[in-house]
């Protein structure tokens, strides 16, 4: 599996309510230096995200789920992958970008290093 494949698989796992509800699973996927600027504009650190993830949208098995589309990835360096894609949850679209880094301290696993979501206004193609 390539780095892009591993990053895509990890990103899709993070959209899964089962993974979002499990601190251990999410912990495995987030890089120690993880940061996010969410679609709300809020800046998140790793500990904040791990604590909040089960309560955020897409975290409940019986609630709305993220619909992911158009995911593409490119390697930026041997240990860095950039993903872009769109999501829809509860009728709201966002364009998203993620950086995944291979973490030698985690046995070479690919972990989410940075994520940003930007809301897409209604009517925007």
The angle at the Cα of 38, spanning 25 to 89, to the nearest 5 degrees, equals 75
Mean pLDDT per 10-residue interval, the chain, length 125 residues: 96 95 96 93 95 90 92 98 96 95 97 96 88
| Residue 11 CB partners (closer than 8 Å, separation 6+) | 68, 71, 83, 85, 98, 100, 112
pLDDT at site 59: 87
End-to-end Cα separation, the chain, in angstroms: 33
pLDDT at site 60: 87
pLDDT at site 39: 81
pLDDT at site 30: 98
pLDDT at site 78: 95
Structure tokens at 64: 């709305």
pLDDT at site 94: 94
pLDDT at site 61: 85
């Amino acid at each position: 599996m390539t780095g892009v494949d591993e990053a895509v698989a990890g990103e899709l796992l993070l959209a899964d309510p089962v993974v979002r509800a499990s601190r251990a699973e999410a912990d495995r996927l987030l890089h120690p230096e993880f940061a996010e600027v969410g679609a709300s504009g809020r800046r998140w650190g790793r500990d904040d995200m791990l604590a909040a993830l089960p309560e955020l949208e897409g975290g409940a098995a019986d609630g709305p789920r993220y619909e992911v589309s158009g995911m593409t990835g490119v390697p930026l360096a041997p240990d860095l992958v950039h993903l872009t894609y769109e999501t829809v949850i509860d009728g709201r679209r966002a364009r998203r970008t993620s950086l995944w880094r291979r973490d030698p301290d985690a046995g070479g696993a690919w972990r989410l290093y940075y994520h940003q979501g930007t809301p897409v206004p209604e009517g925007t193609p």
